[in-house]
Amino acid sequence: MASTKKTARSSRPLRVGIVTLGCDKNTVDNEYLAGLLDEAGCEIVTTRRDGDPPLDAVVVTTCGFIGDAREQSVDAIVQLAEDKRLRGNPRRLFVAGCLSQRCGEELMTEIPEIDGLAGVGQFEQLAKMILKTDGRATRSIAVNTPPRVEIDKLIRRRPLAPRPYAFLKIGDGCDHNCSFCSIPLIKGRLRSVPPEIALAEARALLKRGVREINLVAQDLSAWGLDRWPNWRLPRLVRQICKIPGDFWLRCLYVYPGPIADELIDVMASEPKVVPYLDMPLQHLDPDVLHRMKRPFLERNTFEMVGRLRAALPSLTLRTTMIVGFPGETAAAHRRLIDGIQSLRFDRLGAFEYSPESDTPASTMPLQVSPRTRRRRWHAVMATQAAIALQLNQARLGRTERVLIEGFDPQRKAYIGRSAAEAPEVDGKIYISSSRQLETGLFTDVHITKAEPYDLFAVAADGMATR
């Protein structure tokens, strides 16, 4: 049994708060950190309430991808720094993740309340900083240069929230050279998680009661390319599906390369894989895509989407678009809108282009003004909202299998998702039921009402299934 780490002030375990900002990969990283701290006997706190005893430490895992995310991260750090300075709660403040990797020295200089800082992939170093309670007032920093995120052994994860789904990170970093993206600068080159570790982690997640595994990486379709000639994503998906149990497996962030076609064959033959694909296309105008230096430019998006839907008619297709990229003309923006209306993506998220320092796009000519970027973003989102409403209305009267995630006391309805809704990015299904629906169970529901992003349903007769 792990020994309990005590504070210098008392005989109780260290109380460590964990704050997760940014993407689902940060969620996974914080669960790795929480697992290390839990094994050392710490008490993990994810929600601060009035009247709770002071926290011995707080860790903020940050996002540094775009300007809005960096601002959110800095605001959170500054607020905790003020709490530490004025109230002594938390007693120590640690910062980790992408913003630390990118701006570590600046953060340490500008915010003296920070006691320790770690870059990406530094789970064990960060845990050691937090557990060091010998009373010496030294500030610590651990930022790997060049950046590298590598999982080379199984790390026990501690869930930070009671939910029936989990993200399984099978790779991090990226080998693409998109002109707008700072991810390779922040996280380094692609490092795939070994298949034996990914499979062991999948088994551990299912053993603890997870009913939906969401595979994530910067680009799932590149998994294995950096390390093994005979291990690619379709093979890994098939191996995960062989694990006993009734669960869903979902693939997020699959680039539109040849592997997507092979993956569709697996999705069509493996009932555990939900017919859902998240494919970040970023634009539909050829000239803009060329300026973005997107991979797989030779692929015709319209033909590819047609093939995917023909091979898997029940496919839910999600994508993301960037509006206002340098050189995006009014005609290019019109082609984007027309393409969205033609392809009718089931799910679509859009972002205003954010100039990122040290990326080629930040110094490109023909920068689009913030006002124009905002106007074009609204146009894209309005276009997609109309499509989403029509597609949701087509589901009225259907019976669909959903995973119950909890209960909303304000709506007095259970919360669920079908195979067509990915967690945290898509809408939800609000379910009325005369019987209790237990979180983590699958049940059938009848769709009764549709909004652009959310649906409403009534639970079907019969018991939910484990």
Answer yes or no: do 169 and 307 share one domain.
yes
| Domain boundary, last residue among 339, 361, 393 | 393
Instruction: Tell me the residue range of the domain where 93 lies.
Output: 15-142
Q: Which segment of 240-249, 281-290, 299-308, 341-350 scores lowest on mean pLDDT?
A: 299-308
CATH number at residue 381: 3.80.30.20
Strand pairing report for 429-432 and 399-408: unpaired
Note whether 26 and 63 are within 8 A (CB). yes
Residue 463 has pLDDT above 80, yes or no: no
Tell me if 9 is assigned to some domain: no
Distance between CA atoms of residues 71 and 438, nearest Å: 38
Long-range CB contact pairs, 462-466, < 8 A, 24+: 464/404, 464/437, 464/438, 465/246, 465/441, 466/246, 466/441, 466/442
Tokens at 227, concatenated: 């390390």
Q: Which of the listed ranges 67-71, 96-100, 145-149, 334-338 does the model predict with the highest average pLDDT?
A: 334-338
Cβ neighbours for 375, distance < 8 A, ≥ 6 positions apart: none
For residue 424, the model assigns a pLDDT of 93
Q: Which segment of 135-139, 294-298, 422-426, 435-439 scores lowest on mean pLDDT?
A: 135-139
Q: How far is CA 461 from the centre of its chain?
A: 34
Residue 143 has pLDDT above 80, yes or no: yes
Residue 168 has pLDDT above 70, yes or no: yes
For residue 139, the model assigns a pLDDT of 82
Does residue 313 have a cis bond before it (omega within 30 degrees)?
A: no
Tokens at 3, concatenated: 């020994």
Tell me if 434 is assigned to some domain: yes
Confidence of residue 4 (pLDDT cuts 50, 70, 90): very low
Cβ neighbours for 292, distance < 8 A, ≥ 6 positions apart: 178, 179, 180, 282, 283, 322, 325, 361
Phi, psi values for residue 286, rounded to 5°: -60, -40
Nearest Cα to 58, choosing from 111, 16, 5?
16
Answer yes or no: do 225 and 77 share one domain.
no
| Domain boundary, last residue among 372, 393, 414 | 393
Q: Which amino acid is at 380?
A: V
Nearest Cα to 187, choosing from 227, 219, 214?
219
Answer yes or no: do 371 and 228 share one domain.
yes
For residue 47, the model assigns a pLDDT of 82
Answer yes or no: do 312 and 336 share one domain.
yes
Answer yes or no: do 284 and 432 share one domain.
no
Answer yes or no: do 69 and 200 share one domain.
no
Tell me if 355 is assigned to some domain: yes
Q: Which of the listed ranges 3-17, 134-148, 232-246, 249-263 does the model predict with the highest average pLDDT?
A: 232-246
Residue 436 has pLDDT above 60, yes or no: yes
Coil, strand, or helix at residue 363?
Answer: helix
Tell me if 234 is assigned to some domain: yes
Domains in the chain: how many in total? 3
CATH number at residue 418: 2.40.50.140
For residue 256, the model assigns a pLDDT of 87
Answer yes or no: do 375 and 414 share one domain.
no
Residue 269 buriedness (CB in 10 A; 0-12 / 13-18 / 19+): exposed
Distance between CA atoms of residues 169 and 236, nearest Å: 13
Mean pLDDT, rounded, of the chain: 92
Residue that has been written with the tokens 């393409």 in this structure: 339
Nearest Cα to 153, choosing from 98, 117, 200?
200
Answer yes or no: do 333 and 421 share one domain.
no
For residue 7, the model assigns a pLDDT of 46
Tell me if 119 is assigned to some domain: yes
Residue 137 has pLDDT above 90, yes or no: no
Answer yes or no: do 239 and 322 share one domain.
yes
For residue 135, the model assigns a pLDDT of 60
CATH number at residue 21: 3.40.50.12160
Nearest Cα to 396, choosing from 458, 432, 447, 431?
447
Distance between CA atoms of residues 289 and 192, nearest Å: 26
Tell me if 148 is assigned to some domain: no
Answer yes or no: do 108 and 177 share one domain.
no
Answer yes or no: do 345 and 438 share one domain.
no
For residue 42, the model assigns a pLDDT of 95
Tell me if 4 is assigned to some domain: no
| Domain boundary, last residue among 393, 413, 445 | 393
Tell me if 160 is assigned to some domain: no
For residue 2, the model assigns a pLDDT of 40
Residue 124 has pLDDT above 80, yes or no: yes
Answer yes or no: do 386 and 436 share one domain.
no
For residue 209, the model assigns a pLDDT of 95
The average pLDDT across 173-189 equals 94
Residue 5 has pLDDT above 90, yes or no: no
Beta strands in 336-381 (DSSP E): 347-352
pTM of the model: 0.92
Note whether 223 and 170 are within 8 A (CB). yes
Residue 176 has pLDDT above 60, yes or no: yes
Nearest Cα to 15, choosing from 172, 139, 130?
130
Strand pairing report for 165-169 and 93-97: unpaired
The average pLDDT across 272-297 equals 95
Q: What is the pLDDT of residues 228-277, one digit of tens each?
A: 988 999 999 999 999 999 999 999 999 988 888 889 999 999 999 999 99
Q: What is the pLDDT of residues 413-422, one digit of tens each?
A: 999 999 999 9
